[in-house]
Structure 1
């Protein structure tokens, strides 16, 4: 599967390596091109997943603030709820399309 903004591939991995959480596909950290992500200072803590790290997606002259996110150190209860360790996995908001 791929996460794309227009024609730029931001992340790519086989479907079996992704994790689906609450309708969002989370890509393994190794599958994400970090050249397109800039850490955002936006704070957020999910009550069951933990402290979130947002990213601005930057491709060429286009910047999409807080359109990607990750849980670097999810709560143990969150990992149990998901059934997998999703530490560092990255998900994307709607402007970044996830396609097969």
Structure 2
């Protein structure tokens, strides 16, 4: 069962058949992510084949991990399988 954790908290957990693996990143369904740890960020990036990514900061026990989670609100057709999913980086531990 894939799990994402940071600063001692489990941020997301989902069954194997609920996640999408793209470019070796585990994309969790938004419904499997604990929303209380997410704070919207104004940061965006652009991927030529996935589209424009939006970010969340993670906030756990008063500590902030800026732009540690990202998602594609409107992914391009080539990446449509990650619509409604979110991935992590910047020190977030993701175990498959």
TM-score (norm. length: structure 1): 0.87
Q: Tell me, yes or no, if structure 1 residue 90 matches structure 2 residue 86.
A: yes
Aligned-partner SS, 2:42: coil
Q: Where in structure 2 are the equivalents of 1:1-100 lying within 5 Å?
A: 1-79=2-80, 85-100=81-96
- Deviation, 1:99, is 1.9
* Number of equivalenced pairs: 95
Question: Per-residue deviation at 1:88?
Answer: 2.2
> Could you give the per-residue CA deviations for residues 29-53 of structure 1, whole angstroms, max 9, x where no partner exists?
1100111011111121211101111
Normalised by the size of structure 2, how large is the TM-score?
0.90
Q: RMSD of the TM alignment (CA)? A: 1.2
Instruction: Looking at secondary structure, tell me which structure has more strand per residue.
Output: 2
